Chain A
Amino acid sequence: MAKAPPARAIAEPPITNRERPAEPKPYEASKDELLAFYKQMLLIRRFEEKAGQLYGLGLIGGFCHLYIGQEAVAVGLQSALDGETDSVITGYRDHGHMLAYGIDPKVIMAELTGRGSGISKGKGGSMHMFSTEHKFYGGHGIVGAQVSLGTGLAFKHKYSNDGGICMAYFGDGAANQGQVYESFNMAELWKLPIIFVIENNQYAMGTSVNRASAEDQLYRRGESFRIPGIQVDGMDVLACRGAAEEAIAWVRAGKGPVILEMKTYRYRGHSMSDPAKYRTRDEVQAVRDKSDPIDHIKKLLDEQGVTEADLKSIEQEIRKTVNEAADFAEQTPEPDVAELYTDVLVESY
């Protein structure tokens, strides 16, 4: 019998000399910035709770994917972008990303209730909302599609040399889609300015990451394309923002794409119709108790001397905004029936 070659005799040592982004540091936020983060996250939380309620009342139909638990991700990351030049794209769990951009909660809620004054005139629904004004490109319902589309947006930034970058969000489920890797390949090959954000909320609908992913450390998923990845505590808005700063610096410097794996958790089911029997109530409760992103920022605010009373008044203000959005969404009329036939094509032939 031939002697077995020594293990790893031919294998090259792991590449360690490749340049990588620096290990991100938590963002050092001013008191005002912290307050702004808090307000945005709380707005998302309360908005989503209200959306859940309206769904229960039958005012919102179809699929409705709530962002509760993941607020720190959209708020932390998007706060680092340049709203004038940078673009954002995500999947169907998109309410939070829109709110994090300061888009009027009324037109978002009205879209959820399918009204003519919704941001997509009521024709898109929960999963299909866009704001080209804010360079927010949706709102896409096919798992993983936004990754290729986002790579296309990044292509546009580079082609037009407009200085912008794209932030493309997708979940741990989408991270297994083939087109994600096709996009990784081209993005690195062409050094496109894109941050691939994997919002790893642990469950792709009812399938946990390690039941679906051979490599469950998703930040490593770009390694074979030479795309560096960073794992981030997605429940800590400052960690999110800090990671965004590092990633943006890398991408804007023309070094190509980067992956941010945001470890987060959704408290609600995959969509409103998901009873979430695939995990225990204790598991969810433990996350809520120990890692809630809003509780976390509250502590930071407390350290900065923000009083309970201040927080309460913010809470009231946000509840008011959300209630107004809900009232508007209930009262504003459904789309004009003539709208059925508009916007199919842009031009007339």
Chain B
Amino acid sequence: MAIEIKMPALSPTMEEGTLAKWLVKEGDSVKSGDIMAEIETDKATMEFEAVDEGTIGKIMVAEGTDNVKVGTVIATLLEEGESADSAPTEARAGEAANAAPKETPSDDKAPPVPEGASPAKAESGTQQLVASAEKFGKTDPAIPEGTEMVKTTVREALRDAMAEEMREDDRVFVMGEEVAQYQGAYKVTQGLLDEFGERRVIDTPITEYGFAGIGAGAAMGGLRPIVEFMTFNFALQAIDHIINSAAKTNYMSGGQMRCPIVFRGPNGAASRVGAQHSHNFAAWYASVPGLIVIAPYDAADAKGLLKAAIRTDDPVVFLENELMYGRSFDVPKLDDHVLPIGKARIVREGKDVTIVSYSIGVGISLEAAEKLAEEGIDAEVIDLRTLRPLDTDTVLKSLAKTNRMIIVEENWATCSIASEIVSVVMEHGFDDLDAPVLRVTNEDVPMPYAANLEKLMLVDVAKVVDAAKKVTYR
């Protein structure tokens, strides 16, 4: 029976890709380990290896085809004695994938099966986080009407922000693991080495503490470093320099010595990466005076705020989200799209309940708002965008209008940004409250690996809807 070769998932977040090139043709015999095709994901071009031995029967997806969904049958592989005419077998539920990408754990590549069957590819809980991401791209009211919009991924927006600032200011440079030759572990720095050269785009060894300190020292000396952490989980090794060196120096020196540096990288849960790679550090950094903490949601904010972060004289912790990198949003085509630090944005107006969130939580909040609208509850959604300094004015004004508030955060509840907002509301908005403020967050456990547990652990739309109903007494 012919074996189906299916479009593989080459990263935990990949849903589709481009079949860039076939390296085999019909009739070629292959054995396991042979490279059959090149597949482009949003991050990279990957080689696709054969797992089984046989002869290529029929190539079903031509090279150069874009948007090939993961799991699509792209070719058949004939075993000995078979002819190309034999009908491909129907996919069986739970069937092991028949081709493995390089360096991808085998259970990640199992393709989804036809509707009705139980899924072979375990669905990550993080899908619930990103499902709504692109559906709700609301334009910033601050952008002049009639401005041309360009669909841009968050990844590209971040890169464009760095490139634009590097063109303007020679003091700006990027350093971190795999930022140069590899083009970024998550491809955020793609193309920067080509444009700016190795003087300004610098690969470091895997030594977070050391290069965070070197970055901070270079900033003290007058440069404007962008230090990329492959993820903020690894920045724990460097947190001493972020806090003790970068955040405190201006104050300790009586304003004499500045540290204009940006520490950036993905923060929070990614997909199926387990406890040590799924931590949101927003509240940690936001608790430290002397730091600016930014956590954008969409591409336009990512670009406008990263440019502002690079320009400011203060040290900035810029928290991105891996799950959002590949998502596209409208970004205004402006020569210099810079946004103010410290300003929240009302991304959906409403009158019955205020939903406060930031980063990936904004998408969930917007989707929940749509669901609530179906039930006659008109929710207002605020994207905090900057976590320090916190735009409490926007939060309190909204509360004065709706008198009810929930905070949605992809984080633990204890000592979270949500907790901080609750305190602000208790201290300054108590009289406006018609119901207790609720926090809608992850469960209070380390991130589990198993897909079903991961799903349970993470915040989702249903939890937001429930909380909104509770505070509106519905």
- CA–CA, A342 and B292, complex, Å: 16
Partner of A156 from B223, B255, B256 at Cβ < 8 Å: B223
Residues of B contacting A154 in the complex (Cβ-Cβ under 8 angstroms): 217
Query: Chain B, interface size: which category?
Result: 35 or more
B207 & A182 in contact (Cβ 8 Å cutoff): yes
Partner of A186 from B173, B205, B245, B389 at Cβ < 8 Å: B205
A57 contacts chain B at the CB level, 8 A cutoff: no
Residues of A contacting B216 in the complex (Cβ-Cβ under 8 angstroms): 148-149, 152
Residues of A contacting B209 in the complex (Cβ-Cβ under 8 angstroms): 148, 178-179, 182
Partner of A152 from B207, B220, B289 at Cβ < 8 Å: B220
B218 contacts chain A at the CB level, 8 A cutoff: yes
B296 contacts chain A at the CB level, 8 A cutoff: no
Known: A128-B252, A349-B341. A159 touches B205 (CB 8 A): no
A346 & B258 in contact (Cβ 8 Å cutoff): yes
Closest B residue, CB atoms, query A178 = B209
Residues of A contacting B218 in the complex (Cβ-Cβ under 8 angstroms): 152-153, 155-156, 159
**Chain A contact residues, majority secondary structure:** mixed
Query: Chain A, interface size: which category?
Result: 35 or more
- CA–CA, A151 and B220, complex, Å: 11
A296 contacts chain B at the CB level, 8 A cutoff: no
- CA–CA, A206 and B427, complex, Å: 48
B256 & A159 in contact (Cβ 8 Å cutoff): no
Known: A152-B220, A345-B292, A347-B314. A137 touches B257 (CB 8 A): yes
Residues of A contacting B116 in the complex (Cβ-Cβ under 8 angstroms): none
Interface string of A105-141 (1 = CB under 8 A from B): 0000000000000111111100011111000011111
Closest A residue, CB atoms, query B290 = A344
A189 contacts chain B at the CB level, 8 A cutoff: yes
- CA–CA, A89 and B30, complex, Å: 62
- CA–CA, A178 and B210, complex, Å: 9
Residues of A contacting B213 in the complex (Cβ-Cβ under 8 angstroms): 145, 147-149, 151-152, 179, 182-183
A185 & B205 in contact (Cβ 8 Å cutoff): yes
CB distance from A150 to the nearest CB of B (A): 6
Interface string of B237-262 (1 = CB under 8 A from A): 00011001100011111111110100
Closest A residue, CB atoms, query B213 = A148
B64 contacts chain A at the CB level, 8 A cutoff: no
Known: A120-B256, A345-B290. A149 touches B217 (CB 8 A): yes
A123 & B257 in contact (Cβ 8 Å cutoff): no
Residues of B contacting A140 in the complex (Cβ-Cβ under 8 angstroms): 244-245
Interface string of B184-228 (1 = CB under 8 A from A): 000000000000000100001101011111111111111101000
Task: Give the most central of B173, B250, B257, B290: most A CB within 10 Å.
Answer: B257
A124 & B252 in contact (Cβ 8 Å cutoff): yes
B342 contacts chain A at the CB level, 8 A cutoff: yes
B244 & A142 in contact (Cβ 8 Å cutoff): yes
- CA–CA, A155 and B225, complex, Å: 11
A78 contacts chain B at the CB level, 8 A cutoff: no
Residues of B contacting A120 in the complex (Cβ-Cβ under 8 angstroms): 252-254, 256
A343 & B257 in contact (Cβ 8 Å cutoff): no
CB distance from B206 to the nearest CB of A (A): 9
A342 & B210 in contact (Cβ 8 Å cutoff): no
- CA–CA, A149 and B464, complex, Å: 44
A157 contacts chain B at the CB level, 8 A cutoff: yes
A346 & B257 in contact (Cβ 8 Å cutoff): no
Closest B residue, CB atoms, query A133 = B256
B223 & A344 in contact (Cβ 8 Å cutoff): no
Partner of B254 from A121, A142, A148, A346 at Cβ < 8 Å: A121
- CA–CA, A156 and B210, complex, Å: 15
Interface string of B364-387 (1 = CB under 8 A from A): 000000000000000000000010
CB contacts under 8 Å to B, within A176-192, are: 178-179, 182-183, 185-186, 189
B221 & A138 in contact (Cβ 8 Å cutoff): no
Closest B residue, CB atoms, query A155 = B218
Partner of B210 from A130, A131, A148, A349 at Cβ < 8 Å: A148
Known: A151-B214, A159-B199, A159-B223. A349 touches B256 (CB 8 A): no
Q: List 11 A-B contacts (CB under 8 A).
A: A120-B254, A122-B254, A132-B257, A151-B214, A152-B220, A152-B225, A156-B221, A159-B173, A343-B250, A343-B253, A344-B250
B residues with CB within 8 A of A: 173, 199, 204-205, 207, 209-223, 225, 240-241, 244-245, 249-258, 260, 289-290, 292, 312-314, 340-342, 386, 389
